[in-house]
């Protein structure tokens, strides 16, 4: 979240002091469940929609639409994104909800899921209810009513064809909630008129639901006795702190399509022992799985035993991590109103001054690692392994001399994780506006018809400063910062479908090596830190990105043509079944790939590990290389498999480019 503070109710924002806009994803304002609608002039109310919360960034005519967890879902909402270009703005950040209407005109989550599953977005609607940035000005600290007035003015004179809609608010009306509920709507969101946009869950926004409905974690399923039915019921749970608790099972609300769709997903998740010590006898024999899937369920009430009564399945949720699913408990409205007033009127604390790397630490909750103070050192970043933020920082400090040649002096992106890898993750391309990062600098990169600022580091302090900021994965560009349009390496990412045999992955890497050798090019092998392999080819800086992309595409397509049952050069997951995607798309301006020695922000804490070519065999298991094992490997290693990587000087022969009809520029 950006370093924005609350403004007292009586204060008005000064244009001269307004924060500079940060045009990227940021944490969303979330509402607290209350047991009634708050009354009085301090509150306004909006319709609560049953859809997907969506943050939109508009910048220079480009529209990016993010899920609540920061995933880029622009392609899912392509028709909405196209219409949003009609806004007469240089840039803006909008907050709203994507919905689909049922035959009664009410927002329907099941209808929304059906539309998205079918790949359709032309009948979706985007209700926009807040504005965070407008034409370079960050307005999130202004009051709700000030922001909504600016937002409403944006809609003036723009025809969105009822697909992009300003979400109006209304004053207190005692009959409005019963009226909405009679129309089968979701409920009401009540908001303090003087509240800033805080980017967290607070009491200044309250939600009051028409029906008892919330998300649950799918912890297992029971088999059906009917042939062809995917399963009988889903077994549900939720988290109470770190503890997973059983919530019952749901066996209604499914159709044939959802039964088949969900069963496919269930079969791809690891089966585990029963995660609960005691269960009611009527649960029956179940298959228990890792708690990864999240679904939404409507029910009438909780039983005294803590189970759902009359639950009905509404759909799977792709926008919320399983670890974030807790039991909803409505707060008494009087308590919520008092807390909201305190949130809005409390004076913000003065921001702390940035600590110089050489300055001594003054707080016992920060531990120094190579000159950078690591805050929250005991926070567990990888719950499955128990690896803490401090251990992550010490890992990067220990491999700094190895990873820096791959990431320093390059435009750099990273995957940031504010809490742990089971929660929210952000793909960070740009520096934060607030600064405070040691030895992290900006680099200007020409992108299409504009120049953008990306980040770069030069040394260990910069590396660890990004780890302190929540960085886990380091994704360098394939070019250096001084000449970003001229790549100095090519990369082939072998990305297997879950059903593809591992031997096809290793065969694919060997085939790329052999093809490169035939063309007079030396290549290097590493794991991705996930389920695939990278083949990396250093190259002299004399070709533009279009040439390198065209060359790698030709190799990938040739492999797919020669072995169509093993390889594919099309990124479509639907067409990839059982095959390896030879991903050449990472060879382009602004594209990235995980660096050698980078930890991946996944539960197993895999590390992208350089390998000797002689280690390539079907017995190779990339999962063997993680944050807990890589240091031991490096300690035992007598030679570096990539020792010659930065010494290689090689070019693509002109006759090859000519034969492929590739312009080297």
State how far the Cα of 383 lies from the Cα of 608, in Å rounded to an integer: 20
Would residue 467 be called left, alpha or beta, if left means φ above 0 and alpha means ψ between -120 and 50 degrees?
alpha
In this structure, the chain runs to a length of 665
Cβ atoms of 496 and 577 closer than 8 Å: no
Instruction: Report the chain's terminal Cα–Cα distance, integer Å.
Output: 40
Q: Is 654 helix (H, G, I), strand (E, B) or coil?
A: helix
Q: Give the contacts of 591 (CB within 8 A, at least 6 positions apart).
A: 477, 478, 585
- Cα(35)–Cα(243) distance, integer angstroms: 26
Catalytic, out of 48, 113, 203, 531: 48
Residue pair 462/439 in contact (Cβ under 8 Å)? The answer is yes
Per-residue burial over 239-258, b if 16 or more Cβ lie within 10 Å, else e, is: beeeebbbbbbbeebbeeeb
Please say whether the beta carbons of 109 and 315 come within 8 A.
yes
- Per DSSP bridges, beta strands 212-222 and 43-48 are unpaired
Q: Is 48 a catalytic residue?
A: yes
CA 425 remoteness from chain centre: 5
DSSP 368-391: EETTEEEESTT-EEETTTTEEHHH
Spatial separation of the C-alpha atoms in residues 626 and 640, rounded to whole Å: 18
What DSSP string runs through 50-78?
Answer: SSEEEEEEEETTEEEEE-TTS-B-TTTTH
**Residues that are catalytic:** 48
């Amino acid at each position: 979240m950006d370093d924005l503070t609350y403004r007292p109710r009586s204060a008005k924002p000064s244009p001269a002091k307004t924060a500079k806009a940060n045009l990227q994803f940021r944490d969303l304002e979330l509402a607290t469940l209350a047991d009634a609608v708050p009354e009085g002039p301090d509150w306004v109310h909006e319709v609560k929609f049953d859809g997907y919360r969506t943050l939109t960034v508009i910048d220079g005519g480009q529209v990016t639409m993010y899920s609540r967890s920061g995933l880029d879902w622009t392609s899912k909402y392509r028709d909405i994104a196209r219409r949003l270009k009609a806004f007469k703005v240089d840039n803006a950040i909008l907050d709203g909800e994507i919905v689909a209407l049922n035959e009664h005109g009410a927002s329907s989550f099941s209808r929304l899921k059906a539309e998205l599953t079918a790949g359709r977005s032309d009948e979706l609607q985007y209700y926009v209810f807040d504005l965070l940035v407008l034409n370079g000005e960050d307005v999130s600290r202004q009051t709700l009513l000030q922001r909504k007035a600016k937002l409403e003015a944006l809609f003036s004179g723009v025809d969105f064809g009822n697909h992009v809609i300003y979400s109006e608010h209304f004053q207190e009306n005692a009959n409005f909630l019963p009226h909405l509920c009679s129309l089968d709507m979701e409920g009401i969101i009540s908001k303090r008129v003087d509240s800033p946009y805080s980017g967290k869950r607070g009491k200044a926004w309250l939600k009051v639901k028409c029906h008892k409905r919330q998300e649950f974690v799918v912890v297992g399923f029971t088999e059906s006795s009917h042939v062809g039915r995917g399963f009988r019921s889903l077994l549900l749970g939720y988290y109470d702190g770190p503890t997973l608790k059983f919530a019952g099972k749901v066996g209604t609300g499914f159709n044939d399509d959802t039964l088949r769709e969900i069963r496919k997903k269930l079969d791809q998740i690891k089966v585990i022992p029963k995660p609960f010590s005691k269960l009611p006898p009527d649960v029956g024999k179940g298959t228990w799985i890792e708690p990864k899937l999240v679904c939404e369920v409507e029910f009438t009430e909780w039983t005294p035993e803590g189970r759902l009564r009359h639950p009905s399945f509404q759909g799977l949720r792709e926008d919320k991590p399983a670890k974030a699913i807790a039991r909803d408990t409505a707060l008494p409205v009087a308590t919520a109103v008092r807390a909201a007033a305190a949130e809005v009127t409390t004076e913000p604390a003065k921001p702390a001054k940035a600590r110089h790397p050489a300055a001594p630490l003054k707080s016992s909750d920060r531990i120094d690692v190579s000159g950078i103070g690591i805050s929250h050192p005991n926070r567990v970043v990888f719950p499955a392994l128990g690896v803490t933020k401090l251990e992550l920082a010490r890992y990067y400090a220990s491999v700094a001399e190895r990873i820096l040649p791959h990431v320093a002096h390059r435009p750099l992106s990273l995957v940031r994780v504010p809490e742990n890898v089971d929660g929210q993750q952000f793909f960070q391309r740009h520096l934060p506006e607030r600064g405070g990062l040691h030895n992290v600098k900006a680099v200007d990169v020409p992108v299409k018809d504009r120049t953008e600022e990306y980040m770069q580091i030069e040394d260990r302090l910069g590396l660890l400063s990004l780890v302190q900021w929540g960085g886990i994965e380091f994704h360098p560009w394939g070019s250096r910062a001084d000449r970003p349009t001229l790549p100095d390496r090519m990369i082939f990412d072998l990305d297997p479908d879950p059903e593809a045999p591992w031997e096809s992955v290793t065969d694919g890497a060997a085939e790329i090596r052999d093809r490169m050798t035939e063309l007079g090019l030396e290549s290097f092998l590493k794991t991705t830190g996930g389920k695939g392999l990278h083949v990396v080819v250093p190259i002299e800086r004399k070709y533009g990105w279009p040439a390198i992309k065209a060359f790698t595409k030709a190799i990938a397509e040739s492999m797919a043509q020669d072995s169509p049952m093993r390889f594919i050069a099309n990124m479509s997951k639907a067409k990839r079944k059982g095959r390896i995607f030879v991903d050449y798309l990472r060879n382009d301006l602004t594209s990235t790939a995980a660096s050698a020695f980078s930890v991946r922000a996944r539960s197993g804490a895999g590390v992208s590990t350089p390998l000797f070519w002689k280690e390539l065999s079907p017995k190779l298991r990339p999962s063997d290389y993680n944050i807990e094992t890589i240091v031991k490997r490096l300690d035992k290693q007598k030679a570096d498999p990539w020792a010659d990587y930065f010494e290689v000087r090689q070019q693509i022969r002109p006759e090859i480019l000519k034969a492929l009809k590739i312009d080297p520029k």
